[in-house]
Chain A
């Protein structure tokens, strides 16, 4: 061992990652290390590969070169049992919620719990109702089908499902996309509250400066196929780079940042 990112505090360690899709290199020699307890926003322009990077972190895509370690261990190799245990330590919230459309809200949240095959029905019921309450939904929402839910509720149920197994790491893909400002606000506050209560490490992919300002402590800027800079928001804003200038110093961003502070 002895490589950077091996400490117990390092939740996600990405080393010299390069990804190629077809003929184009999406990432080249990308390095990133996220420590426990941080709230990180991954920002980048359209087509810069942020969602691809997130998908590699959660193991849906294998990198062409380089390695990704979660909780100090690589995701692949080492058997399905070990992979499954590792996957139980993080939860993912997809952009459209990705709720199982054939199951109702209760069964959606109960799904990961039932997969463990070690809880009885009463325990599962209690756990599911607890998660529902945590995401500020009512018991009467438990038996609705995903098609009957509004956009904001879909995201909350998806969040409850992501948190079902008490993970240590939460990854979110554009959590406030498609929500009206009022709902987006509420959702961001919910994530922040839960993050603090449960001691989660949160990584979110976003290009919404409001969310960024309200939710995160650190920002990782993805541009030129690598992480340009990673640090606190004020440090990142000092960087003199066209993308940083356009992203953080546009009119909208300035207003959002002013409001947040």
Chain B
């Protein structure tokens, strides 16, 4: 490729003339390193004199990049003495026509900006609450419908959701539960040993895991796993009009899409809580065995004596409540997804975060209402 170049000569009339030759195109200029500032500055220096005439007739090829380079050299206007072919001149005319800043729409900031933002978020929150109550209402109506027509129960959808959110979650819940049990047991035993209260590791682990840690841990895992999956699935179904297609066939979307998800999570979460609790206690048992030399037999025997069984029921009830909350929040956000990727990612994130927040709030409510139930008597 012939290089972009210029040479100084004298024109016929004795004027200094710059003759441009070669290919003034993006690829040619980039390849030959002519886009660097030094070369451009030199060119500009040469061109600064007003009396210089520019001869562009020998240019082999000129595209918008080469033209822009010259445009900048000429300080954004055509030089007075210019020899150029009409086709190339057209490029410069186009550049001249488009040489303006992108128009920015300036919205004047109102003095009440803060108030407006606050108000807007309150109204948005109100919209959320209304839609959520709407969802809840539809589900209750579906429940009544099912009581009258039990044959309409979406059995296949429920079992599919139970498999996806329950059975498939067992490995990861087992692993996380076991490791948390080990960690908790290890740290607690270090403290208890100082007071010679080694044997109370059973009480501590039992009470905390069965009543609080098991349910909340499982809820967070389920929210991240199944909650986001449900939101994304419903969101994409909205975008591809699958939900519309169901509606036009007269299929109730709340009965066939949302109800199975809510029921499935309501069934699966307490079972996963049980699963994770057992594995966490096993992990704790193993760690206590290593740290404090507490035998497994002693651990298993003492556990039912140290921890009243009411705690187990509290833990499982929490599991049900968390599961329902996560499913409702996931479906609520799934149905709000608009047809763009930004909306899908924002709603999926919001779904998981809101679900976890709801779970913590419900946990707090449980803690307050059951504060006198299930505590060991000394």
Q: Interface on A for B, CB 8 Å cutoff?
A: 55, 58-60, 80, 83-84, 87-88, 92, 94-96, 98-101, 111-112, 115, 117
Contacts and interface: CB of A to CB of B under 8 A. Distances in A.
Interface string B114-153: 0000000000000000000000000000000000000100
Contacts of A100: 242, 245
Q: Which 6 A-B pairs have the closest CB atoms?
A: A87-B250, A98-B241, A84-B250, A98-B245, A92-B248, A94-B241
B244 interface: yes
Nearest to B247: A60
Contacts of A98: 240-242, 244-245
Interface string B241-271: 1101101111110000000000000000000
Interface string B208-246: 000000000000000000000000000010001110110
Contacts of A60: 244, 247-248
A115 B241 contact: no
B245 A94 contact: yes
Nearest to B251: A115
30 contacts: A55-B244, A58-B248, A59-B247, A60-B247, A80-B250, A80-B252, A83-B250, A84-B250, A87-B248, A87-B249, A87-B250, A88-B250, A92-B245, A95-B241, A96-B240, A96-B241, A98-B240, A98-B241, A98-B242, A98-B245, A99-B245, A100-B242, A101-B236, A101-B240, A101-B242, A111-B249, A112-B249, A115-B249, A115-B250, A117-B151
B283 to A, nearest CB: 37
Contacts of A101: 236, 240, 242
A194 to B, nearest CB: 19
Nearest to B244: A60
B367 to A, nearest CB: 40
A60 B242 CA distance: 13
A87 B247 CA distance: 9
B249 to A, nearest CB: 5
Nearest to B233: A102
Contacts of B252: 80
Interface string B320-334: 000000000000000
Contacts of A83: 250
Nearest to B249: A112
A98 B242 CA distance: 5
Nearest to A164: B249
Contacts of B240: 96, 98, 101
Q: Which of A59, A98, A117 has the most CB of B within 10 A?
A: A98
Nearest to A108: B245
A83 B251 CA distance: 10
Nearest to B239: A96
A22 B305 CA distance: 64
A64 B25 CA distance: 59
A92 to B, nearest CB: 5
A103 to B, nearest CB: 10
B249 A94 contact: no
A94 B250 contact: no
B260 to A, nearest CB: 13
A105 to B, nearest CB: 15
Nearest to A91: B248
B100 to A, nearest CB: 28
Nearest to B246: A100
Contacts of A80: 250, 252
Given A87-B248, A112-B249, 17 more contacts: A55-B244, A60-B247, A80-B250, A87-B249, A94-B244, A94-B245, A95-B241, A96-B241, A98-B242, A99-B245, A100-B242, A100-B245, A101-B240, A111-B249, A115-B250, A115-B251, A117-B151
B248 A59 contact: yes
B334 to A, nearest CB: 15
A84 B256 CA distance: 15
Contacts of A87: 248-250
A60 to B, nearest CB: 6
Contacts of A55: 244
Contacts of B249: 87, 111-112, 115
Nearest to A88: B250
A87 B248 CA distance: 7
A117 B251 CA distance: 13
Contacts of B247: 59-60
A95 B244 CA distance: 12
Contacts of B236: 101
B341 to A, nearest CB: 16
B315 to A, nearest CB: 34
Contacts of B250: 80, 83-84, 87-88, 115
A104 to B, nearest CB: 14
A203 to B, nearest CB: 13
Q: Which of B236, B240, B241, B249 has the most CB of A within 10 A?
A: B249
B270 to A, nearest CB: 27
Nearest to A92: B248
A88 B247 CA distance: 12
Q: Which of B236, B242, B252 has the most CB of A within 10 A?
A: B242
A96 B252 CA distance: 22
Nearest to B160: A102
A101 B240 CA distance: 9
A202 to B, nearest CB: 16
Nearest to A84: B250
A84 B251 CA distance: 8
Contacts of B242: 98-101
Contacts of B248: 58-60, 87, 92
B335 to A, nearest CB: 14
A97 to B, nearest CB: 8
